Structure 1
Amino acid sequence: MNRFKLLVVAAVLVQGCSMHFDPFLHSAENTDAEPEPVSPPANGLWYQQAPSEVQPPSAAPDQRLQQSPLMVFRSLGNSYQASYIHKSLDDYAEQMAMQLVGNMQGPAQTRRMAVASFVELDANLKQTSVLGNQLAEKLMAQMQGFGLPVVDFKAMEQIQIGAQGDLLFSRDVSELARQQDIDLVLSGTLVRNARGVQIHARILSMQDRQLVASANGFIPAVVVDSLYSPPYVLSE
């Protein structure tokens, strides 16, 4: 009889343990199960954290929020545009300079190059902008960094010393050298659209206007807009 009672008690204990741990086992199975597919949201925006940026659950909520930046993906058919981008105009100028140097025809180290302002692609090709002037300045530094002899034709023959500073550059033709020893000219056109500006750059030979090198690029609108703060005024 005692043996029978022991068997009954053991069976009850085993059944109780099984009932107690079933939820835990069920939870573990659900954790390992494959996630159900998620339907895309109506607005077309996806927010997904990079695996390296995900913070452990032990981190404080505020810390996880601050240290877990979101990657934003735009779906087709949505006009979402980023309000910030980590690249600057220098980065795009560097990429364009690499393209120009990479496909340049003929020796360039012995030919003196000037860089002119980029202009809007319109009927007269004479309208420049903040972007056109700054892109020319940055490309001047980039091309010189590649070892090409760059000429700054805006430098006067003499330094003008004044109370507000000592001036070397001018846009007054009468103050510049009448004879400019220039072999190549780098310039290009700007084509604007809702998302940014398409850049078409080219290097021309001053002797025969032959195309020596060319490059295309795109600068997002957020980068272009950042050039206008603080305000930049073009003199008439």
Structure 2
Amino acid sequence: MKKMKTTIALMLSASFLTLSGCSMMMDDEEVAEQTPVRPSMNVIDITAQDRAPAKRASNDEESEDQGMDAYGAIGQPPLYSSVQGAYKGRPLTKHIGDYVKNMTQDLIANMEYVNTKTAIGVTHFALLDTDLQQTDLLGRQMAESFVHELHKFRVPVIDFKATEYIRITDAGDFVLSRDYLELSSSLPIEYVLTGTMTKHQGGVLVNARILGMESRAVVASAQMLVPFYVVDALIPSDGSERSGMRDGVKLSRG
């Protein structure tokens, strides 16, 4: 009798375990059905070489000539010239005005006596290895740029080349002149900005200073090396005229 009870108990236990296992399997299937299926993700190790653009097998030399980079974007053209073709080279990111701006800041930093009530005149920069009565296109343009920069600092600048009238001609309408007979001989100029230029290895060394008209005292000074590629970017109006040239620079009286 005890053996039969034991056998029945074992059978009931086995049935309970079987039912429990089925219940657990059903619960797992229900959870699996409720959980959204996510797509598998493939992880790929991308090296720097894989990220770099593949170089085209053909037309590489042609792309380099057109100024294209490795991504196919068009960059700066290899040559840049004016209508006359006087200047050939890459386009510049800076011009002579940027260097004059830095020199003006140096002048303002160590300037004495000059203020918003003292008038300044600006002359052309002379070539240092001459009689100081000769200049070139660089010397003229630097004077024009200094007039602009000084005016930005609210320093009163007097343009002594301005006449008292406007001359109307077939070539155009002008108020500036280089004829001293047409200019005023009495102007309230107390200080003058001038300077010298000399060729240096890699560029032109420019020395700028502000002088007192009566005392001749130096009240401000600045110095900077302007690279040759910036100087050469200045194109003369008449590039065919070779008279008065020295070392490829057209000289003129100051």
TM-score w.r.t. structure 2 length? 0.61
| Structure 1: distance between partners of 2:74 and 2:52 | 12
Instruction: Decide whether the 8 Å contact of 1:83 with 1:222 is kept in 2.
Output: no
How large is the Cα RMSD of the aligned pairs?
3.0
Q: Which residue of 1 aligns with 2:165?
A: 158
> Which shifted more, 169-178 or 221-230?
221-230
Shift of 1:56: 3.8
Q: Which residue of 2 aligns with 1:118?
A: 125
Instruction: Give aligned-pair identity as a percent.
Output: 35
Q: Provide Cα deviations, 1:61-107, integer angstroms capped at 9, x if missing partner.
A: 565255598xxxxxxxxxxxx97652111100100111111110124
Q: Which residue of 2 aligns with 1:48?
A: none
Is 2:63 aligned against 1:57? no
Instruction: Decide whether the 8 Å contact of 1:160 with 1:168 is kept in 2.
Output: yes
Query: Which runs of structure 2 are paired with 1:47-196 in the superposition (5 Å)?
Result: 56-58=51-53, 61=56, 64=70, 85-196=92-203
| Structure 2: distance between partners of 1:96 and 1:102 | 10
| Structure 1: distance between partners of 2:114 and 2:122 | 18
Shift of 1:167: 1.2
Q: Which residue of 2 aligns with 1:21?
A: none
Shift of 1:144: 0.5
Shift of 1:59: 6.4
SS in 2 for 1:226: coil
| Structure 2: distance between partners of 1:121 and 1:223 | 19
Which residue, 235, 243, 246 being the options, matches 1:228?
235
Count of aligned pairs between the two proteins: 174
Question: Counterpart of 1:111 in structure 2: which amino acid?
Answer: T
Question: Counterpart of 2:189 in structure 1: which amino acid?
Answer: I
SS in 2 for 1:151: coil
| Structure 1: distance between partners of 2:90 and 2:170 | 42
Give unmatched runs, 5+ long, in structure 1.
Answer: 1-27, 33-54, 70-81
Q: Which residue of 2 aligns with 1:3?
A: none
TM-score w.r.t. structure 1 length? 0.65
Q: Which residue of 2 aligns with 1:216?
A: 223
Q: Provide Cα deviations, 1:182-223, integer angstroms capped at 9, x if missing partner.
A: 011001000102411001000001021111100000100000
Question: Counterpart of 2:234 in structure 1: which amino acid?
Answer: L
Instruction: Decide whether the 8 Å contact of 1:156 with 1:168 is kept in 2.
Output: yes
| Structure 1: distance between partners of 2:210 and 2:71 | 48
Q: Which has the larger radius of gyration?
A: 2
